[in-house]
Structure 1
Amino acid sequence: MLDRAARLRQLSEVDQDLIRLVQDPRFNRWIEQLTATGGCARPIHLTGSTTTRDAATGEVLHHYDTRNEPGERLLIRCRNRRATVCAPCSRLHAGDTFHLVRAGLVGGKTVPADVRERPRLFLTLTAPSFGPVHHVTTDGQRCRPRRDGGDCEHGRSLGCPTVHTADDPRTGQPLCPDCYDYPAHVLWHAHAGRLWKAFTDNLYNHLAARIGRTRTGLRRSLRISYAKVAEYQQRAAVHVHAVVRLDGARGPDDPPPAWATADVLMAVVRTAAAAVRLRTPYSAALGEHELCWGAELDARPLRAFGGGEGLADDAVAAYVAKYVTKGATDTGAGLDHQITSPDDIAAASVSAHVRTLMRTCWRLGGLPELEPLRLRVWAHTLGYRGHILTKSRAYSTTYTALRTERADHQAGGTQPTDPRLIADAHWRYVGFGHSAGAALIAAGIAEDLARNRELAKEQPACWDGDAV
């Protein structure tokens, strides 16, 4: 903890920086830039210019140059999805994710509205067990009651009579770290992308077998579209939430065959997941591991617009959007930055279980036969190297399209789209982040904008200015 003198010096530095900023003659313009980023906590600093010309005449129609900006820089959003890194940008990313997922459920954003009538499931696939762990219990149930008691070969109890809560530090930790299969856990993470690919391949195979057709023949009339998000469980193992939709062969513009129903899809997802088997590369130190999905699989239909049984579309989109802003740090299942040495692992503020997983990544990453998995590069995420959210190409719109649409809207439709116009841009990255005083002002702007959004939600749809 800082002593009083150090705290005074620190406050003095912030105060001095605030005075410097406020006295700058371009302070108001800097505030405009900061507000335009939504109070981004780690804005990107750019320097450069953009010139828009008439392609035929060469006439300059518009010119922008950062030489007239505060510090000769332009601030733009960092666009980091993690709330722990930048809350304003993560909130924007969550909103984009909501619209991306929702468009694939109810239409919009170039997706036809009749996709809401297609067979659709919300699916959760889990990792298998790598060893018994303490888990949350309810209704007074004990964690792992054992009448016969007994210890493992390392002398630790095989049972646990405790009733754990979600905030219990033992939740998710192995009953015996020496019995826990840490290499299998890390290798499962490293192959999670291939496991999902094997699952979707099996879906086609099992659907084809169900109707007596070949997979090639099935692909001529049906396409599987999906959007999925990865989430770390308390045991630090990733599981996958996915929206799965059946389309015709041409994607969302094409309805699926009449036989392709939600009941048929529900039946095959379980058999397709259960049939997945992958073998890891042979290692003299580890041998081979057979990888599969966990036995716990949850599949629920999404109800069509207008009612019926199943989950609501907006609720599912909001659920996925919530998890996309979470990093490994949020759940204590890793770090949001790469590890460069074993010393980083020793210094990390994580549980003993997660630290052992990181050390396992570092150790296995040094084996030549496992080098393609780049386990040391991904040690901070416990070997998991996939994106948090991925989707099939035909599921819905893209993040790029959503950001472009938002930029056009914010510009009032003034972005040059005429092919007769040429935009000549020269930009250079010169830094990121804030000084101490600027960070304080940015946080205040972000807080004000968040409060204004909440107040706007509370206002009635129609308001009479003359009403009391």
Structure 2
Amino acid sequence: MLDRAARLRQLSEVDQDLIRLVQDPRFDRWVEQIATTGGCAHPIHLTGSTTTCNTLTGEVLHHYDTRDEPGERLLIRCRNRRQTVCAPCSRLHAGDTFHLVRTGLVGGKTVPADVRERPRLFLTLTAPSFGPVHHVTADGQRCRPRRDGGRCDHGRPLGCPAVHDADDPLTGQPLCPDCYDYPAHVLWHAHAGRLWKAFTDNLYNHLAARVGRTRTGLRRSLRISYAKVAEYQQRAAVHIHAVVRLDGARGPDDPPPAWATADVLTAVVRTAAAAVRLRTPFSAALGEHELRWGAELDARPLRAFGSGEGLADDAVAAYVAKYVTKGATDTGAGLDHQITTPDDITAAPVSAHVRALMRACWRLGGLPELEPLRLRAWAHTLGYRGHILTKSRAYSTTYTALRAERADHQSGGTELADPDLITEAHWRYVGSGHTPGAALIAAGIAEDLALNREAARDACREWGGCL
């Protein structure tokens, strides 16, 4: 018979950690904390206390201290939006994003319901070509048929007779990596935010010119509100999906002028995008690049509650919400963590095309004239340094407001503020993540919660709706 020590040595690290956790007298409270975080995969560990007291009487109304918690710490959600990093938190982030985008389309929260009657478009702006790439084909069509069978200066074919689907590893890859303009691709990503700003500035200018007014005069009667999300194409170039809405000068509470229609907005977005031209700082190694939007631009009107022509509001909000939870590894266009050395690029599990873009970021990031772009810090996102989702201030509510509303709902509502009450809080970060056994338990809790949500949705569908 093996003694206790020998048996423990035979157990895996996970098993040993599970035994340690279950034997802890505060195990039930620890499981309760994990459930409160929704089974968060990488919770934040805090230590500290909160005390609420009456300043007039000195009475302590509420006191909480982590010294009474397992491990003397409190676990809170990591709030990571990436599904590959933390599925439970990404689901919450997707829900918040859906409501944030939808509120700007049909109203709610602090936005009036009549915004659904405003001119609203769903736009897609793309990057220009940096070189021919293999692309998805349909109905048996060839990728890039050429009768002459020509070759580039590097001896590679200029055409491709193959038929590609979305899962073909060649899809999105350059026909000739040596011909592909990797520096231009990286610089375009680094200036994507400025390109969007130039586009929205042009929208005001072109709208003013269309109705015969000055830009300043136009701003006295009209405001452009938007929410946009960045998405990587298969060629690893970002394109922008955006909801654009026309309001009056005071924002969503103010209707736009009668002449501001969806047709007018559709016509103007095309000319405004085509007119964008930015020039990169001069570099002795690269010269100067002119940056612009790609020729492919899609603009579609939106409709509310299934009436009229155009895209459905809920479908657009759901699409944006689904995309924001994707990490760079989901799209194959980068990594979810920063690169610190060139060796990280060599070891990255990415395609040769994406690896070449990362190396271009690292190489260009070493040029003194491009130092402000911080290309090495953003090599893992191929030079793109913007947030996945951004919005104008007046478009709708905020993530902060949505999270505060959820916290208020979960706590059963908050009491009215009392000027005689004061709360003192002292918190300190002490770590993050789970031990091996704790990670297994958290994953099980997250799975159970997901199954419960699915069962609730099935019940709703069976009964034709929920109360």
Specify the TM-score bucket, using the shorter chain as the normaliser: over 0.9
Q: How does 1:348-367 map to 2 (within 5 A)?
A: 348-367=348-367
Tell me the TM-score normalized by structure 2.
Answer: 0.96
Deviation per CA, 1:391-411: give whole Å up to 9, x if none.
Answer: 000000000000000000000
Q: Which residue of 2 aligns with 1:78?
A: 78
Matched residue type, 1:111: V
Please give the per-residue CA displacement for 1:68-103, whole angstroms capped at 9, x wherever unaligned: 000000000000000111010001000000000000
Q: Which amino acid aligns with 2:105?
A: L
Structure 1 contact 408–415 (Cα < 8 Å) conserved = no
SS of 2:51 mapped into structure 1: strand
1:12-51 → structure 2 map (5 Å cutoff): 12-51=12-51
Check 1:415–1:351 CA distance in 2 against 1; reply closer, same or farther (3 A cut): farther
Q: Is the CA contact 2:41–2:442 (under 8 Å) kept in the aligned structure 1?
A: yes
Counterpart contact for 2:278–2:292, Cα < 8 Å: yes
Matched, 1:136 2:136: yes
Structure 1 counterpart of 2:315:
315
**How do 1:34-433 and structure 2 match up within 5 A?**
34-305=34-305, 307-414=307-414, 417-433=417-433
Percent sequence identity is: 89
Q: CA deviation at 1:16?
A: 0.6
Measured against aligned partners, the alpha-carbon deviations of 1:340-376 in whole angstroms (never above 9, x if no partner) come to 0101111111111000100000000000000000000
2-structure distance, mates of 1:378, 1:22 = 43
Which letter does structure 2 place at the counterpart of 1:130?
A: F
How much does 1:9 deviate? 7.5
The amino acid across from 1:407 in the alignment is A
Alpha-carbon separation, structure 2, partners of 1:406 and 1:83: 21
TM-score normalised to structure 1 length? 0.96
The 10-residue stretch of structure 1 (272-281 or 327-336) with the greater mean CA deviation from structure 2: 327-336
Deviation of 1:10 after TM superposition, in Å, equals: 9.3
Aligned residue for 1:239, secondary structure, equals strand
Q: Which residue of 1 aligns with 2:3?
A: none
Amino acid of the residue matched to residue 411 of structure 1? Answer: S
- What is the Cα deviation at residue 423 of structure 1? 1.1
Instruction: State the AA in 1 paired with 2:362.
Output: W
Check conservation: 1:378, 1:385, Cα contact below 8 A. yes
Deviations along 1:398-429, whole A, 9 cap, x unmatched? 00000000000000014673333211000000
* Alignment deviations for residues 300-346 of structure 1 (CA, whole Å, 9 cap, x no partner): 00014461001001000000001111121111100000000101111
2:447 is equivalent to residue 455 of structure 1:
no
1: CA distance, partners of 2:13 / 2:125: 50
Residue aligned with 1:397, SS: coil
| Aligned mates of 1:22, 1:402 — CA distance in 2 | 36
Preserved contact between residue 361 and residue 379 of structure 2 (Cα < 8 Å): yes
**Any runs of at least 4 consecutive aligned residues in structure 1 with deviations exceeding 4 A, and if so which?**
8-11
Deviations along 1:233-257, whole A, 9 cap, x unmatched? 0100000000000000000011001
- 2:306–2:312 Cα contact (<8 Å) kept: no
Counterpart of 2:382, as a letter, is: L
> For the Cα contact (< 8 Å) 1:229–1:320, is it kept in 2?
yes
Question: SS at the partner of 2:329?
Answer: coil
| Separation of aligned partners in 2, 1:446 and 1:345 | 33
Output the CA distance in 1 between the equivalents of 2:398 and 2:341: 36
Determine the C-alpha separation between the residues in 2 that align with 1:49 and 1:415.
20
CA distance in 1, matches of 2:277, 2:232: 22
* Total equivalences in the alignment: 457
**Aligned partners of 1:283 and 1:360: how far apart in 2?**
15
Change in 2 beyond 3 A, CA 1:413/1:188: same
1:4 match? none
* Alpha-carbon separation, structure 1, partners of 2:294 and 2:238: 11
Q: Take 1:201 and 1:10, find their aligned partners in 2: how far apart are those partners?
A: 67
Q: Quick one: distance in 1 between partners of 2:394 and 2:230?
A: 20
* Contact 1:117–1:305 (CA under 8 A) maintained in structure 2: no
Q: Structure 2 unaligned segments of length 5 or more: list them.
A: 1-7
Quote the offset at 1:390 in angstroms.
0.1
SS in 2 for 1:430: strand
Structure 1: gaps (5+ residues) = 1-7, 464-468
In structure 2, what is the equivalent of residue 444 of structure 1?
444
